[in-house]
């Protein structure tokens, strides 16, 4: 049964209504429907020009340094994160995830220095995680007591990031993953099916506000954090396999629906989402959802955000909303589609975004120890492919629980900074050419399945009358051939230069087989190259 907005949200404050009062900006205000959003929205130029964003996907789940979804998996006996938790912190019926929040102190977090590194690496926008599936708010939350100003670091993480991003001249965004907390966290109400603690429910099942008296979380209700028991594993599951099978069939699903019979959770999410938007005025809001969170409720939030943008910017549309797996062109015109760890195979008429990470979304020390991060070459190849198809890259470089980068991440950011300093002209502020590229390597939408690129794999961008050719690798023989410029059907090349050099023109010849360019010796630190071509009819 489809629920009405009133059934989902109950009674909400007047300030929480999606549409602002009509104001004389000369055009209709956005209404909370896909049709209204699509009809009135256009992606702002700042986003189309930016191309690269960096993301601090950072919160209390980084404290154990064990990787993604620690808050869920630490409650699943047999999982490596359960084993890690048992060994490091104790049994989850005694020491639950909320105690990890108590250990998050961010004692080595130097946000000013980090923002400087992000800016140097080429980021044109910065995104801070406001709320993850762990239902914890990393900001000064008006509606949720489990937030970073009251417990954990006791600082307004998002607010500090926002101020520094704007000081650095970067656009600022927030990411919101909290609509999934209601099913994601139900493992905290489970129990060990095997062993000496079999059948004893974990901490979320027994703790109440009264239990916090005299503790670090005095006055807070654990049920507000864990979401309340909505899909609790039934008693009597006696094996790890039986418990896993139950979770796979119930809480393991990626549910986009509101929790059955619990409108209070939806109302809380709604008020917190709007609180962060109104408080920090972000230029971008990333929703970790297929479409928009909770259907109509997500439309309400997005319409209000767009209307606020007009109010903040004198009637102009200056903000971006990200959602995933959009179903049609109407949705892709209403918001900007995000592709998690994946790409598209053609130039899209509407701007889009890939989000990915050099490692795990939450910090994973094991990955660091086995040198498992993506290389600078892999990232700039991905960035180049994405930009050639009218997309942006939002990249996470995970922070440790204490707020610091490890030495490999610092080396990565320094390498990315060196490449963008030399070759960024072919990336930032560009638009796609007539075709995105050429080359023999099979394209894979899933980044994990992408085969290594070769020097014959080229991508194209344009800006200010120039055509840029980016080669995914440096040709071993020092010759680059651009088959797309064979003859003069796509224009006549009059000058070719290698970015990052002294501007000296390169020798070339344009024949029926293609444009052949003779390259200088390869700089040792250049993972891939970019050329600027000028001429007649090229763009």
Q: Tokens in use for 87?
A: 């060994």
Computed on alpha carbons and rounded to an integer, the radius of gyration of the chain in Å comes to 25
Residue 134: pLDDT over 60: yes
Contacts of 275 (CB under 8 A, 6+ apart): 141, 142, 143
Give CA–CA dist 483/428, Å, rounded: 25
Residue 11 lies in a domain: no
Closest CA to 362 of 13, 17, 65: 65
Say whether 536 sits in a helix, a strand or coil: strand
The percent of residues above 70 in pLDDT, for the chain, comes to 95
Mean pLDDT, to the nearest integer, of 466-476? 96
Out of 391, 426, 461, pick the residue that ends a domain. Answer: 426
For residue range 333-354, what is the model confidence (pLDDT) as tens digits? Answer: 999 999 999 999 999 999 999 9
Closest CA to 56 of 291, 286, 269: 286
Say whether 340 sits in a helix, a strand or coil: strand
**How sure is the predictor about 115, in pLDDT bands with cuts at 50, 70 and 90?**
very high
pLDDT at 404: 98
β-strand pairing of 529-536 with 336-340: unpaired
β-strand pairing of 125-131 with 52-56: parallel
Residue 263 lies in a domain: yes
The percent of residues above 90 in pLDDT, for the chain, comes to 91
Question: Could you tell me if 289 and 179 are in contact, meaning their C-beta atoms sit under 8 angstroms apart?
Answer: yes
For residue 135, what are the domain limits?
A: 39-426
Out of 400, 426, 452, pick the residue that ends a domain. Answer: 426
- Poorest-pLDDT segment among 7-21, 79-93, 107-121, 486-500: 7-21
For residue range 308-334, what is the model confidence (pLDDT) as tens digits? Answer: 999 999 999 999 999 999 999 999 999
- Poorest-pLDDT segment among 12-21, 96-105, 223-232, 454-463: 12-21
Residue 31 lies in a domain: no
pLDDT at 501: 87
pLDDT at 82: 98
For residue range 241-270, what is the model confidence (pLDDT) as tens digits? Answer: 999 999 999 988 899 999 988 999 999 999
Tell me, yes or no, whether 454 and 402 share the same domain. Answer: no
Question: Could you tell me if 148 and 136 are in contact, meaning their C-beta atoms sit under 8 angstroms apart?
Answer: yes
**How sure is the predictor about 524, in pLDDT bands with cuts at 50, 70 and 90?**
confident
Tell me, yes or no, whether 454 and 419 share the same domain. Answer: no
pLDDT at 136: 98
- Poorest-pLDDT segment among 20-34, 197-211, 310-324, 461-475: 20-34
Residue 23: pLDDT over 50: no
Residue 315 lies in a domain: yes
Residue 33 lies in a domain: no
Residue 16: pLDDT over 80: no
Question: Could you tell me if 412 and 376 are in contact, meaning their C-beta atoms sit under 8 angstroms apart?
Answer: yes
For residue range 152-186, what is the model confidence (pLDDT) as tens digits? Answer: 999 999 999 999 999 999 999 999 999 999 999 99
Tell me, yes or no, whether 92 and 181 share the same domain. Answer: yes
Give Cα separations from 413 to 63, 117, 175 (angstroms). 22, 7, 22
Mean pLDDT, to the nearest integer, of 15-38? 64
Tell me, yes or no, whether 262 and 391 share the same domain. Answer: yes
Tell me, yes or no, whether 179 and 299 share the same domain. Answer: yes
Question: Could you tell me if 520 and 502 are in contact, meaning their C-beta atoms sit under 8 angstroms apart?
Answer: no
pLDDT at 253: 87
pLDDT at 240: 98
In degrees, rounded to 5, the angle at the alpha carbon of residue 3 between the alpha carbons of residues 190 and 146 is: 45
Give Cα separations from 171 to 193, 240, 318, 443 (angstroms). 48, 47, 10, 31
Q: Tokens in use for 281?
A: 């005025």
Tell me, yes or no, whether 214 and 233 share the same domain. Answer: yes
**How sure is the predictor about 19, in pLDDT bands with cuts at 50, 70 and 90?**
very low
pLDDT at 4: 58
pLDDT at 5: 57
Hey, which bits of 6-122 come out as E strands? 52-56
Tell me, yes or no, whether 69 and 198 share the same domain. Answer: yes
Tell me, yes or no, whether 204 and 127 share the same domain. Answer: yes
pLDDT at 537: 97
C-beta neighbour count of 327 within 10 angstroms: 10
Mean pLDDT, to the nearest integer, of 425-454? 95
Estimate the crossing angle of helix 263-280 against helix 157-167, to 10 degrees: 30
Out of 376, 394, 426, pick the residue that ends a domain. Answer: 426
Residue 17: pLDDT over 50: no
Higher pLDDT, 525 or 178: 178
Q: What string of H, E and C letters represents the secondary structure of 390-448?
A: CEEEEEECCCCCCCCCCHHHHHHHHHHHHHHHHHHHHCCCCEEEEEEEECCCCCCCEHH
Residue 26: pLDDT over 70: no
Tell me, yes or no, whether 309 and 413 share the same domain. Answer: yes
In degrees, rounded to 5, the angle at the alpha carbon of residue 149 between the alpha carbons of residues 205 and 223 is: 15
Question: Could you tell me if 424 and 50 are in contact, meaning their C-beta atoms sit under 8 angstroms apart?
Answer: no
Under DSSP, the state recorded for 302 is: H
Tell me, yes or no, whether 511 and 441 share the same domain. Answer: yes
Closest CA to 71 of 96, 103, 102, 93: 96
Residue 523: pLDDT over 90: no
For residue range 401-411, what is the model confidence (pLDDT) as tens digits? Answer: 999 999 999 99
Number of domains in the chain: 2
User: In the Cβ-directed half-sphere of 22, how many Cα atoms lie within 13 Å?
Assistant: 3
pLDDT at 6: 59
Residue 370: pLDDT over 80: yes
**How sure is the predictor about 10, in pLDDT bands with cuts at 50, 70 and 90?**
low
Average pLDDT of the chain to the nearest whole number: 94
Long-range contacts of 91-96 (CB under 8 A, 24+ apart): 91/197, 92/188, 92/202, 92/203, 93/191, 93/192, 93/197, 93/200, 93/201, 93/202, 93/203, 93/206, 94/203, 95/203, 96/188, 96/202, 96/203, 96/204, 96/207, 96/222
Q: Tokens in use for 215?
A: 């503790």
For residue range 42-90, what is the model confidence (pLDDT) as tens digits? Answer: 999 999 999 999 999 999 999 999 999 999 999 999 999 999 999 999 9
User: In the Cβ-directed half-sphere of 474, how many Cα atoms lie within 13 Å?
Assistant: 15
Residue 14: pLDDT over 90: no
């Amino acid at each position: 049964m489809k629920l009405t907005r009133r059934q989902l949200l109950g009674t909400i404050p007047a300030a929480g209504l999606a549409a602002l009062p009509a104001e004389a900006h000369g055009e209709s205000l956005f209404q909370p429907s896909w049709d209204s959003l699509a009809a009135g929205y256009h992606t702002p130029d700042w986003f189309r020009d930016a191309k690269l964003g960096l993301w601090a996907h950072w919160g209390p789940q980084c404290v154990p340094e064990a990787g993604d979804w620690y808050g869920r998996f630490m409650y699943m006996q047999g999982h490596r994160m359960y084993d890690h938790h048992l060994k490091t912190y104790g049994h989850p019926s005694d020491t639950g995830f909320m105690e990890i929040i108590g250990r998050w102190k961010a004692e080595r977090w130097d946000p000013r220095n980090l923002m400087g590194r992000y800016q140097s690496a080429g980021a044109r926008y910065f995104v801070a995680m406001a709320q993850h599936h762990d239902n914890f708010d990393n900001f000064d939350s008006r509606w949720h007591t489990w937030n970073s100003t009251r417990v954990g670091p006791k600082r307004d993480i998002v607010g500090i990031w926002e101020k520094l991003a704007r000081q650095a001249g970067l656009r600022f965004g927030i990411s919101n993953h909290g609509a999934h907390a209601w099913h994601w966290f139900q493992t905290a109400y489970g129990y060990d099916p095997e062993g000496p603690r079999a059948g004893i429910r974990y901490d979320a099942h027994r703790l109440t506000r009264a239990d916090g008296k005299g503790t670090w979380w005095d006055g807070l209700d654990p049920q507000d954090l864990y979401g309340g028991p909505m899909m609790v594993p039934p008693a009597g599951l006696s094996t790890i396999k039986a418990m896993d099978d139950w979770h796979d069939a119930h809480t393991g699903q990626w549910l986009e629906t509101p929790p059955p019979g619990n409108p209070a959770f939806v109302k809380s999410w709604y008020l917190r989402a709007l609180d962060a938007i109104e408080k920090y005025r972000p230029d971008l809001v990333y929703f970790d959802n297929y479409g928009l969170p909770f259907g109509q409720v997500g439309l309400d939030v997005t319409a209000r955000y767009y209307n606020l943008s007009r109010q903040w910017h004198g009637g102009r549309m200056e903000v971006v909303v990200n959602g995933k797996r959009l179903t049609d062109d109407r949705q892709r015109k209403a918001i900007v589609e995000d592709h998690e760890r994946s790409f598209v195979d053609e130039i899209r008429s509407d701007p889009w975004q890939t989000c990915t990470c050099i490692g795990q979304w939450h910090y994973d020390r094991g990955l660091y120890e086995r040198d498992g991060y993506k290389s600078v070459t892999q990232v700039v190849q991905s960035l180049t492919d994405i930009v050639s198809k009218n997309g942006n890259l939002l990249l996470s470089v995970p922070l440790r629980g204490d707020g610091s980068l490890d030495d490999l991440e610092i080396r990565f950011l320094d390498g990315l900074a060196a490449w963008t300093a030399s070759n960024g002209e072919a990336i930032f502020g560009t638009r796609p050419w007539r075709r995105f590229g050429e080359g023999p390597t099979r394209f894979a939408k899933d980044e994990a399945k992408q085969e290594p690129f070769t020097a014959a794999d080229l991508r194209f961008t344009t800006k200010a009358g120039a055509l840029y050719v980016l080669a995914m690798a440096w040709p071993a023989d020092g010759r680059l051939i651009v088959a797309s410029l064979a003859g003069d059907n796509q224009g006549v090349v009059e000058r070719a230069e290698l970015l990052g050099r002294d501007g000296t023109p390169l020798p070339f010849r344009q024949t029926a087989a293609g444009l052949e360019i003779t390259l200088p010796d390869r700089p040792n630190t250049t993972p891939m190259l970019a050329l600027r071509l000028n001429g007649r009819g090229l763009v």
